[in-house]
Amino acid sequence: MPRSNDRPNVGPVSSHPAQAAPPGAHSEAVAALREQYAAIPAGSPVRLAKPTSNLFRFRQDQAGGLDVARFNRVLSVDPVARTAQVQGMTTYEDLVDATLPHGLMPLVVPQLKTITLGGAVAGLGIESSSFRNGLPHESVKELEVLTGDGEVVVVRPQDPLFRGFPNSYGTLGYALRLEIELEPVKPYVRLRHVPFGDARECAEVIAGVCADGEYQGEPVDFIDGTVFTGTEMYLTLANFTETAPGTSDYTGNGIFYRSIQSHRTDHLTIRDYIWRWDTDWFWCSRAFGAQHPVVRRLWPKRYLRSDVYRKIVAFDRRHGISDRLSKAVQEPVIQDVEIPVDKLPEFLDFFEREIGISPVWLCPVRLRDRTGWPLYPMDADTLYVNVGFWSTVALRPREEMGSRNRLIEEKVSELGGHKSLYSDSYYEEADFWRHYNGEAYLALKGRYDRGSRLPGLYAKCVLRR
């Protein structure tokens, strides 16, 4: 690994990096935010005014909200301690641009550029380093939170709010500042795309690689997978490297997920590896024609980004354009679920038969912190595989909206898995609290949001508004 003062070739940085905050600016922003909060009439609901979102629970637009625009900066990077002080609304794109020049990166960088650090910690994030580094909240050392009661508290790993903040989705409070761990990088990443024709063999290799940190005698720093069909799937095994014979570019006409089927090895700069999925929102840009060769050449490169595609989806959801054009009623099936690795073949077989979305993303994850996280109670001794799928399914005659999502929820529960709450959920309330530790949540809610100024977790994540 490079020393902390090395400067690797990281590729181009963001064209709109966040500016460093001047001394005292964070304290001033916190004081101003507390004044805003105090001015909201008692009993009135509180929410954030955010320009972007990576959630897929589309609700009716609401006016107002707390202005958190001043909380979007990297406050400092300590290359010796390998830590960063970061405000909660800072995007991972800006965070990566601040850390890579120091030869460092966050331990887990969710795949999409405009995911915010506070959002990933209050919800859940995952990436190909998660088999060794866990989830984003597991590399947080200190957390400053504006609670539902309007107080600002600083919590650390031994505090109940720190443990309960992940998977609370802004229903206990909002992250204002976080201290996070960083890890060293090398300038390039070498990728191996290993094909499999059988899900059981694929799952066995995932388990072996995650246990050993290598495959066929070569190191593995990152692992994820892509399932095209039940007989065509690939694991992408990647490792840091100081040199590369050449690098690929998937930020323009090249499309990363298509390269998986045609390449056996590849090299990317570390920055391009981190954002390899963002240009085409994995493969979802094809729904907008962005992968058609002619459209691709005409589409401005700066708009080949996940946040642009999400705005298109939000516009479509608001106006029902796709529904009017479609010959069948379409149910959005946009989910990430964690499945124990030994149950992965069964889940993939079920998913291909009953849902039929392709491709599907795989990403192994094991918790780093054995103390656990009460609102998302994964077993620290179990290796899980995140299965991500993001599309729509045509409903069968007389099939109700939500039926496929409910079917997935039932299967995930049957297999001892867990489902992220960033998208639509259909659990009955008793089942929801059983899966997401209602007893622990209600205790935290009663302590940090006694007036219920913020929505409850079930109301926010499940109930339709």
Residues 370-392 have pLDDT tens digits of 999 999 999 999 999 999 999 99
Q: What is the pLDDT along the chain (465 residues), one digit of tens a residue?
A: 333 334 455 555 554 455 566 778 999 999 999 999 999 888 777 877 666 655 545 455 554 578 899 999 999 999 999 999 999 999 999 999 999 999 999 999 999 999 999 999 999 899 999 999 999 999 999 999 999 999 999 999 999 999 999 999 999 999 999 999 999 999 999 999 999 999 999 999 999 999 999 999 999 999 999 999 999 999 999 999 999 999 999 999 999 999 999 999 999 999 999 999 999 999 999 999 999 999 999 999 999 999 998 888 877 667 666 666 565 688 999 999 999 999 999 999 999 999 999 999 999 999 999 999 999 999 999 999 999 999 999 998 889 999 999 999 999 999 999 999 999 999 999 999 999 999 999 999 999 999 999 999 999 999 754
pTM (2 d.p.)? 0.91
Q: Could you give the C-alpha distances from 306 to 286, 310, 390, in angstroms and in order?
A: 12, 6, 13
In this predicted model, what pLDDT tens digit does every residue of 17-52 receive, in sequence order? Answer: 555 667 789 999 999 999 999 998 887 778 776 666
User: Could you tell me which residues are beta bridge partners of residue 227?
Assistant: 233, 360
Is residue 226 within 8 Å of residue 236, measured between CB atoms? yes
How many Å separate Cα 20 from the centre of its chain? 25
Q: Which pLDDT belongs to residue 465? A: 43
Which residues are CB-contacts of 347 (< 8 A; sequence separation ≥ 6)?
337, 339, 387, 411, 412, 415, 417
Amino acid, single-letter form, for residue 449: D
Which residues are CB-contacts of 397 (< 8 A; sequence separation ≥ 6)?
none
Is residue 37 within 8 Å of residue 145, measured between CB atoms? no
Tokens for 200? 């059981």
Is residue 216 within 8 Å of residue 192, measured between CB atoms? no
Is residue 123 within 8 Å of residue 144, measured between CB atoms? no
For the chain, the farthest-separated pair of C-alpha atoms sits apart, in whole angstroms, at 63
Strands 66-67 and 48-49 turn out to be: parallel
Tokens for 167? 């998977």
Q: Which pLDDT belongs to residue 44? A: 79
Q: What angle do CA 137, 139, 140 make, to 5 degrees?
A: 65
Strands 360-365 and 48-49 turn out to be: unpaired
Following DSSP, what letter does each residue of 7-29 receive, concatenated? --------SSPPPPPPTTHHHHH
Could you say which DSSP state residue 282 is in? T
Residues 130 and 223: their CA atoms lie apart, in Å, by 8
Domains and CATH numbers, the chain: 25-184 (3.30.465.10)
Q: Could you give the C-alpha distances from 11 to 8, 100, 109, 275, in angstroms and in order?
A: 9, 10, 17, 11
Q: Which pLDDT belongs to residue 315? A: 77
Residues 224 and 137: their CA atoms lie apart, in Å, by 20
**220, burial (CB in 10 Å: exposed 0-12, middle 13-18, buried 19+):** buried
Q: Which pLDDT belongs to residue 141? A: 98
